[in-house]
């Protein structure tokens, strides 16, 4: 099934969009990490300012290891920022730090798509690999029910990706609004912040498209089997 050229031809456009988005993220990050924010604020300071402004006083900010490893950990209520973002004073650094702070603010406000996303995580986490194993086994062994269980499990991955989109777009929107409002970046600098955050958003769009096309392919594959 995965060796079927049709599978790759069908997924091709979404996979190419994903590669293009990755290239755009890298180039936008490289470009904007050389442009200093005029306020002179670091990523960590920017995140702290946004969190304070939003009344999120219980969220910690730590350095994480690894390039672009920035994330918000809702279980421990900690923003983990890569060294470059934590200590950086560039447009890229404050933009990424603010995006992660946006997730912490969503968490504090119980933003509905985030609550739904977190509820799907345990199933979707299992999903993608196990689903494909079940579909392949179901098709090879001609156990259609097994293949359908795999398809349903894979649908949870698609659901996760779909609900992840508003979560990511909203975090970036909050980040940009708050960066300007709190004076970390000027209205003129906002377009540069948008360049970095929009490139990152495109990678999520590509991942969602890929998952949707995979699901359509799996459904057509399994429904075509009546033996
Ligand atoms: Zn995010």
* Cβ(123)–Cβ(153) below 8 Å: yes
Residue-level pLDDT at 3: 66
Q: Give 191's contacts (C-beta < 8 A, 6+ positions apart).
A: none
Residue-level pLDDT at 129: 83
Strand partners, 78: 60, 73
Expressed in angstroms and rounded, the spacing between residue 168 Cα and the centre of ligand 1 is: 5
Expressed in angstroms and rounded, the spacing between residue 170 Cα and the centre of ligand 1 is: 9
**DSSP string covering 89-101, please?**
-BHHHHHHHHHHH
Residue-level pLDDT at 94: 97
Indicate the DSSP class of residue 75.
T
Residue-level pLDDT at 1: 60
In whole angstroms, how far apart are CA 44 and each of 90, 92, 96, 125, 158?
A: 12, 12, 10, 30, 33
Expressed in angstroms and rounded, the spacing between residue 100 Cα and the centre of ligand 1 is: 6
Residue-level pLDDT at 67: 75
Per-residue pLDDT of the chain (227 residues; tens, 9 = 90+): 666 788 888 889 999 999 999 999 999 999 999 999 999 999 999 999 999 999 999 999 999 988 778 999 998 999 999 999 999 999 999 999 999 999 999 999 999 999 999 888 888 877 778 998 999 999 889 899 999 999 999 999 999 999 999 999 999 999 999 999 999 999 999 999 999 999 999 999 999 999 999 999 999 988 886 54
Expressed in angstroms and rounded, the spacing between residue 103 Cα and the centre of ligand 1 is: 7
| Per-domain boundaries in the chain | 5-223
Expressed in angstroms and rounded, the spacing between residue 41 Cα and the centre of ligand 1 is: 21
Rounded to the nearest 10°, the torsion over CA 174, 177, 181, 184 is: 80
Expressed in angstroms and rounded, the spacing between residue 200 Cα and the centre of ligand 1 is: 8
Buried b (16+ CB within 10 A) or exposed e, 63-100: ebeeeeebebbeeeebbbbbebbbebbbbbbbbbbbbb
Expressed in angstroms and rounded, the spacing between residue 101 Cα and the centre of ligand 1 is: 9
Is 100 marked active-site? yes
The encoded tokens of residue 133 equal 């194993």
What φ, ψ does residue 79 adopt, rounded to 5°?
A: -90, 125
The encoded tokens of residue 68 equal 């672009």
**From 100, 168, 178, 189, active-site residue:** 100
Residue-level pLDDT at 193: 97
**DSSP string covering 121-144, please?**
HHHHHHHHHHHHHHHHHHHHTT-H
């Amino acid at each position: 099934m995965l060796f079927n050229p049709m599978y790759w031809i069908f997924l091709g456009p979404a996979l190419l969009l994903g590669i293009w988005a990755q290239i755009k993220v890298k180039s936008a990050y490289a470009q904007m990490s050389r442009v200093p924010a005029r306020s002179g604020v670091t990523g960590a300071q920017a995140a702290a300012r946004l969190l304070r402004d939003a009344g999120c006083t219980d969220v910690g900010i730590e350095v994480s290891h690894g390039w672009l490893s920035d994330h918000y950990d809702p279980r421990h209520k900690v923003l983990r920022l890569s060294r470059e973002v934590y200590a950086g004073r560039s447009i890229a650094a404050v933009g990424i730090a603010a995006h992660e702070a946006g997730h912490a603010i969503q968490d504090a406000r119980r933003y509905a798509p985030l609550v739904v996303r977190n509820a799907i995580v345990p199933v979707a986490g299992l999903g993608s690999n196990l689903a494909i194993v079940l579909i392949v086994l179901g098709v090879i062994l001609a156990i259609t029910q097994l293949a359908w269980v795999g398809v349903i499990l894979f649908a949870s991955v698609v659901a996760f990706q779909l609900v992840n989109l508003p979560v990511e777009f909203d975090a970036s929107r909050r980040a940009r609004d708050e960066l300007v409002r709190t004076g970390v970046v000027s209205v003129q600098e906002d377009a540069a912040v948008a360049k970095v955050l929009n490139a990152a958003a495109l990678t999520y769009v590509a991942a969602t498209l890929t998952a949707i096309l995979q699901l359509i392919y799996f459904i057509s594959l399994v429904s075509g089997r009546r033996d």
